Structure 1
Amino acid sequence: MSITKDQKLEAKYGLFTAISMVIGQVIGSGIFFKVDDVLSATQGNILAGLLGFLIVGISVVFAGISLANYAELLPREGGILSYVNYRFGETASYFVGWMYMSLFYPLLTAVLFTVSGIYIAHLFAEFMNFTPTNLHYSLIGFVNLLLFFSLNILHPKSSGIFQQMTTVLKVLPLIFIASLGILSVFKGDVNEVNTFSQLGNGVQTQSFWLLVAASFIPISFAFDGWYIATQISGEIKNSSKNLPKALIIGTISVMVIYIAYYLGVVFRMSGEEIIQLKNTYITEFARKFASDSGALLMQLFIIISVLGTSNGLLLASIRVPYQFVNLKKSKNFLNLDRVNKKTKMPLNSGVFSVCAIIFYLGFYYLTNTLPFFSDKNFDLSAIPIIFIYMVNGALFLGLFKLINKDLFQGNSLLKKIMSVIAILGNGIVLFGSASAANGLTYFVVNIIFILAGFLLMKKT
């Protein structure tokens, strides 16, 4: 069937589906395994962590408002790559596509599959006499990667069903823990050590606001993914109105849920205890309320949530190389533009992507085990998050020229004010990230990868 330029995608999704898309893409595994990183960054200061959630959350809300302007201009095409191409041209979209293929998607996918290994290993440890190590996490993550890759390639419909199921299940433990925290406040059952006057774990070496800034990197990881809903902008009914509403309502909802979850945890566990337990803090939290059965149930919920998020990223990752080589500025290599006739999937693209993910699985293992990285608390997952904030910041700045051309409906002054707030919020997060430990290193790595993109760029 031929496709003409005038053919439009069918508008089949309503406002509720769009909101669910925003919430479902953001809420995943990040919030579960980043709270301990937040408190480590703030050196146990609970209030600094809370302010970090507020600042990053508000910046995400205004970022969503600003990005929705591009959806108004591009009702048939969505996503960051399309917006960059429209505003800055083919060269800029090439480099974003390159970063998606070489760094952003494979690295994030590798991190999340490793996280799935963390929780599965600790679940096995409940029944078997062994102590989980980083090697266990990586090996289980590797096996999960191969299993879900096979599922996506051989039976993509089953993968889609699993994805829909996990979207609902992963919100339940967050609401449960948030409710426990709220009930604790009303009952006056909050532990005295868990007050906002707490200065930390007694080893603070930085000023309060630097501690707040240090929390931005792990919190930004937890909030990542809200912009994915723009991918289906052409399939949302009355997209110019419903997509902005979905981005606003969705991001506000996530911010409220995350803050409530954070408070629910820190009202019942000290910052020092969470830091010491690391990623297993949530299991011990559940054990306090419902003994071993509660801990087991919580682990199962989290494993399903992490696997759902991992599968969603893998689903996108295996298509990214195919999309990259089809950009006008990209060189075609390894026949990544081929689609398998039987599976109707870009098999070469998928294999290339999985190889990249396996590479990052290995490197993530090294950063967690080699003293050169672990002694410096090097966080590999921070690198792609900084990249997407840089791209979004450029898009927000680029709005002013479009607004001045009177391309949008509505109050142009209000749009400019919203864009300014989005830029400020984005800038604060980037500045805070740069000032945090290893922050400048994360920026340098991004720049090196961007420059490496010239290797596969067509010469004109």
Structure 2
Amino acid sequence: MSQKLQKNLGLTAALSTVIGMVIGGGVFFKPQAVYTLTGGEPGLGMIAWVVAGVITITAGLTAAEVSAAIPKTGGMMVYIEEIYGKKLGVLTGWMQCALFFPATVAALAVMFGNQSAKLIGNENLIVPITLGVILLISILNTLSSKTTGLIQTIATICKLIPLILIIIFGFIRGNGNNPITSPLVGPGVSTVSIIGQLLIAILFAYDGWINVGAIAGEMKNPGKDLPKAIIGGLAFVMVVYIIINVAYLWVLPASELANFDSPASAVAEVIFGPIGGKLITTGILISVFGCINGYLLTAPRVLYTLGQQKSIPGYKYYGPLNKSGVPGNATIVMGILSAIYALSGQFNLLTDLSMFAIWSFYVLTFIGVILLRQRQPELNRPYKVPLYPVIPIIAIAGGLFVVINQLLFAGMENTLISLGGVIVTLIGLPLYSLAQKQANNDNNKAA
């Protein structure tokens, strides 16, 4: 049984992983949450798509420096461990495995199940399809990383088709009479009070970019290819997002988009008719499938790293690789946990939980770029963030705004969800201590 990850992923697989993990559910489904928050008006929603894109690009530009300087399997948890120490690194990995990855996979699977059942015309199939897609993709990801990288590349190509068709024919067949940039919000809606919630909703659509770092150990040239994949992928995604959101509004007003859990499918049906709309919905489902695959490709690598480090109870189970050279046990565990989350059936709740959890640690990563510059000026940096320290400061400020707003100013429900995320994250500390005792006992027995 091989215990060494195979270096067979190149720039194409990494780039397609970034694009594939970012363009998934959010761009097709989040306009509903956005225009519900704005009271059915487009202005602030469109501004928020741009602002979230800018925050994400500054985040990508910043985090790419750390990714290139510390190209180790495990991604963000490894970066934070190198900068802040072992315990915070373990806490990062625990948060990703216990909250971020399963909540994100579950949210995407919930939407996949909902849309598939509507397409078939039988809503009794929502739960079986939701759980089935998680199971299927988990099994696929127990195969070699080369196989799953190929699946990711194919899914990324396929998912661009509905985007391109909606953009082109949306502008051709849409009447263009709907407002795009004004009014900002509907009557009785406070611009200041909802901007944070808008950003947390839209940042889900932009998320996924940093997780390509988790497969750095399986890339042929991570120092060179990783920054290219993150930055090139994000720039492409931001342009696509802004254009397609204008295309949505070209066809349907914001007040109507707020009424559909899949606004993209509603727009496609207006453009192409019922049959064409179903074909576009099929393309969207392929997109979501690819997105789930991307997360279930990278998530087990984090759990595998925790197992290898003996940082989590049961590390003997999570640490080994299977005959295909991939963390098969860790993949199954992440699939099961995602399925449990998916039973909630709550797309927006799951995405809000995952975004609050991950952005708390993104901010630590951005701060880490500045700390590394000060502590290790001679560290090999194949890529350096441009306009330093302006870009990192913008990323830090944007991230802090999102996290603090969600915790304190986004309403009681969001505050409780966020506090729950904090508690689950902190549980990682006693679990780490337990794992250390287990490891010491195992070492003493071996001696």
Shift, 1:274, TM fit: 1.3
- Partner amino acid for 1:53? W
Contact 2:143 2:326 in 1 (8 A): no
Which residue does 2:230 correspond to in 1?
A: 247
Per-residue Cα deviation, 1:1-51 (whole angstroms, up to 9, x for no partner): 9999xxx9869735x665444323211222111111111122222111111
Q: Number of residue pairs matched?
A: 430
Distance 1:243 1:309, change over 3 A: closer
Per-residue Cα deviation, 1:375-398 (whole angstroms, up to 9, x for no partner): xxx612211111111111011112
The root-mean-square deviation of aligned C-alpha atoms, in Å, is 3.2
Shift, 1:254, TM fit: 0.9
- Mapped pair 1:436 → 2:421: no
Which residue does 1:165 correspond to in 2?
A: 154
Contact 1:166 1:308 in 2 (8 A): yes
Matching of residues 2-17 of structure 1 within 5 Å:
13-14=10-11
Residues of 2 paired with 1:413 and 1:301: CA distance?
37
Shift, 1:52, TM fit: 0.8
Contact 1:48 1:209 in 2 (8 A): no
Per-residue Cα deviation, 1:137-161 (whole angstroms, up to 9, x for no partner): 2221112222333333468766554
Residues of 2 paired with 1:235 and 1:350: CA distance?
16
Contact 2:13 2:149 in 1 (8 A): no
Shift, 1:223, TM fit: 0.6
Matching of residues 315-326 of structure 1 within 5 Å:
315-326=297-308
Distance 1:329 1:318, change over 3 A: closer
Per-residue Cα deviation, 1:413-443 (whole angstroms, up to 9, x for no partner): 9322221121122223334434334332232
Residue 425 of structure 1 aligns to a residue whose secondary structure is helix
- Mapped pair 1:419 → 2:402: no
Matching of residues 302-381 of structure 1 within 5 Å:
302-332=284-314, 335-340=317-322, 346-362=327-343, 364-365=344-345, 367=346, 379-381=349-351
- Mapped pair 1:84 → 2:65: no
Aligned with 2:141 (options 142, 152, 168): 152
- Partner amino acid for 1:51? I
Shift, 1:61, TM fit: 0.6
Which residue does 2:431 correspond to in 1?
A: 456
Matching of residues 155-304 of structure 1 within 5 Å:
159-183=148-172, 189-191=175-177, 193-198=178-183, 200=185, 204-233=187-216, 240=223, 242-279=225-262, 281-304=263-286
- Partner amino acid for 1:278? D
Distance 1:13 1:315, change over 3 A: closer
Shift, 1:106, TM fit: 1.6
Residues of 1 paired with 2:73 and 2:136: CA distance?
32
Which residue does 1:373 correspond to in 2?
A: none
Distance 1:412 1:275, change over 3 A: closer
Residues of 1 paired with 2:227 and 2:374: CA distance?
20
Shift, 1:298, TM fit: 0.4
Structure 2 stretches of 5 or more lacking a match?
437-447
Which residue does 2:25 correspond to in 1?
A: 29
Distance 1:332 1:233, change over 3 A: closer
Which residue does 1:68 correspond to in 2?
A: 64
Contact 2:268 2:276 in 1 (8 A): yes
Which residue does 2:442 correspond to in 1?
A: none
TM-score (structure 2 length as normaliser): 0.85
Contact 1:38 1:218 in 2 (8 A): yes
Residues of 1 paired with 2:52 and 2:90: CA distance?
28
Structure 1 stretches of 5 or more lacking a match?
369-377
TM-score (structure 1 length as normaliser): 0.83
Contact 1:110 1:358 in 2 (8 A): yes
Distance 1:416 1:164, change over 3 A: same
Distance 1:156 1:234, change over 3 A: closer
Distance 1:82 1:10, change over 3 A: same
Residue 317 of structure 2 aligns to a residue whose secondary structure is coil
Residues of 2 paired with 1:401 and 1:2: CA distance?
36
Distance 1:92 1:179, change over 3 A: same
Contact 1:119 1:302 in 2 (8 A): no
Matching of residues 101-120 of structure 1 within 5 Å:
101-120=97-116
Residues of 1 paired with 2:220 and 2:336: CA distance?
38
Residues of 2 paired with 1:303 and 1:21: CA distance?
17
Contact 1:91 1:329 in 2 (8 A): no
Per-residue Cα deviation, 1:181-230 (whole angstroms, up to 9, x for no partner): 55579xxx312x43433355x5x433223333321122111111111233
- Mapped pair 1:445 → 2:393: no
Residue 45 of structure 1 aligns to a residue whose secondary structure is coil
Shift, 1:259, TM fit: 0.8
Deviates further, 240-249 or 296-305: 240-249
Residues of 2 paired with 1:241 and 1:152: CA distance?
26
Residue 415 of structure 1 aligns to a residue whose secondary structure is coil
Distance 1:234 1:414, change over 3 A: farther
- Mapped pair 1:407 → 2:388: no
Shift, 1:282, TM fit: 2.2
Residues of 1 paired with 2:132 and 2:95: CA distance?
26
Percent same amino acid among aligned pairs?
28
Contact 2:80 2:88 in 1 (8 A): yes
Contact 1:11 1:234 in 2 (8 A): no
Deviates further, 219-228 or 434-443: 434-443
Shift, 1:349, TM fit: 3.0
